[in-house]
Amino acid sequence: MKRLLTLAVSSLALAASPALAQDVAITGATVALGDGSDPVENATVVVRGGRVVAAGAGVSVPAGMTVLDGTGTWVTPGIFASITNLGLVDVGAVSESNDVDADDSPFGAALDVSPVINPNAQDFGYSRAGGVTRASVMPEAGASIFGGQGAIIDLGADYDAVRHPRAFQVVEFGERGARLAGGSRTSVHALLRNALHEAGTYGDAGELRTAGSAGGQREGLGLDSRMPNNVDRQGDVLLTRFDAAALVPVVRGEQKLYVQVERASDILSVLALREEFPALDIVLVGATEGWMVADRIAAADVPVIANALRDLPASFEQLAATQSNVGRLVDAGVKVAIGGYDSSGDHPRNLPQQAGNMVALNRVPGATGLTWGEAFAAITSVPAEVAGLGGRMGVLAEGAHGDLVVWDGDPLETSSAPVRVFVDGVEQPLTNHQTRLRDRYRSLDESERPRAYEW
């Protein structure tokens, strides 16, 4: 690829404020729009003012724009990685650096990841270098069945990572939820119903206004604005005021409820919650046995976030695990985003590997995979849609965020990697701790001085 534009993006330090977007056009590339369509060869992508202007074959480049020759490369929207822990963890097993769950907290639903996300965590830069430009960050349930409130972030190298705070609430169903609830799924149902009833009552009494649901504007990151206005509640209640307040937008359907659930029968129980709480805006997370009740999920119009490669009966709620889960759900009409990280190999930046395997699966008789377009959409536009941000990210459509990745080949292929990454039209640094180590140890020659002086 001819580099007609070289940008100074090598600094490891984050800018205090986001850099200004560049107006840029890339021509002659193979372009995948992310919307489920097949890649288009010799196509053009135009980004101006941080937003996509146009993408596809026959797109003309406005006069005066910087033009990059994309010959031999692929250009796509950035990966949207669902349900990550980006910015919550430096090292998973170093507990003081890990804010994913709060085992000993007095709070559950009230917990909010937004103010603690750290864009300097190495995983941020490492994922960015892998082509991840947007992500949902999900807290995990620690002390109660509620994990708290997740956020939607971008992975630009600045401190404005959190773009949609409190985008969803997390609740743990199934085996893990049962343990957290006191030892049985029955307790999960009782606790969840009680919590939603308390929140409903609380919301009515408090005349609360909700904040932080999937609005287009950046929200403040301070304490929940609903809190100070409230009178003490009457009677016996299980939730703290803070937790009850946090669930008000959930019960009103103004904040999505991400339900971690695996077993087919549990999935149906989750769908049935809407008979009692009609406004719930549910997203199924996990759904390993979803394919067994795919028609019911489709009829309920509930989207799914699933790890694509689960195929082992890892627990008694995943006995029917198969790699065909995603394909069968999609064929039934369910909106499915690929996300979920069962091992340290299922890193957010390896989502293309999960997606690529879905394409390979189509060649196995009896299995159900995805077309290339479907597979790539499952890690770009579909997760954005599941997050309530469809058309705005994860897709090269007019007006969408100018998140571009230039790849050195088919992005789903094992041999491919990003060569340039843009977030909101701003080219991003691809250096990180790992690339610096790579460069230092390219040679082991210490005849002149130790490697420690190579930096």
Pair 294, 368: CB distance under 8 Å: no
Q: In this complex, which beta carbon is closest to another protein, that of residue 76 or of residue 323?
A: 323
C-beta of 140: minimal distance to another protein in Å?
A: 15
Close Cβ partners of 32 (under 8 Å, ≥ 6 residues apart): 38, 39, 40, 74, 75, 76, 77, 373, 376, 396, 411
Alpha helices (H) along 207-263:
241-251
Q: In this complex, which beta carbon is closest to another protein, that of residue 131 or of residue 402?
A: 131
C-beta of 434: minimal distance to another protein in Å?
A: 5
Which secondary structure element, helix H or strand E, spans residue 134, and what is its range? strand 132-137
For residue 341, the tally of other CB atoms under 10 A from its CB is: 18
Pair 363, 145: CB distance under 8 Å: no
Q: In this complex, which beta carbon is closest to another protein, that of residue 298 or of residue 319?
A: 319
Q: In this complex, which beta carbon is closest to another protein, that of residue 3 or of residue 442?
A: 442
C-beta of 414: minimal distance to another protein in Å?
A: 4
Give 263's Cβ-side CA count (13 Å radius). 15
Q: In this complex, which beta carbon is closest to another protein, that of residue 238 or of residue 364?
A: 364
Q: In this complex, which beta carbon is closest to another protein, that of residue 209 or of residue 436?
A: 436
C-beta of 320: minimal distance to another protein in Å?
A: 4
C-beta of 205: minimal distance to another protein in Å?
A: 45
Pair 352, 370: CB distance under 8 Å: no
- Give how far Cα 170 sits from Cα of 140, 231, 293, 453, Å: 7, 26, 22, 47
Pair 36, 395: CB distance under 8 Å: no
C-beta of 13: minimal distance to another protein in Å?
A: 20
Q: In this complex, which beta carbon is closest to another protein, that of residue 279 or of residue 360?
A: 360
Q: Enumerate binding residues for another protein (CB under 8 A).
A: 90-94, 122-123, 126, 264, 289, 292, 309-316, 318-324, 342-347, 350, 353, 356-357, 359-361, 363-367, 408, 412-417, 433-435, 437-438, 441-442, 444, 451
C-beta of 318: minimal distance to another protein in Å?
A: 8
> Can you tell me the distance from the alpha carbon of 419 to that of 406, in angstroms, rounded to the nearest whole number?
6
Pair 166, 149: CB distance under 8 Å: yes
SS3 238: coil
Pair 102, 38: CB distance under 8 Å: no
C-beta of 441: minimal distance to another protein in Å?
A: 5
Q: In this complex, which beta carbon is closest to another protein, that of residue 23 or of residue 90?
A: 90
Close Cβ partners of 130 (under 8 Å, ≥ 6 residues apart): 79, 347, 348, 349, 350, 417, 418
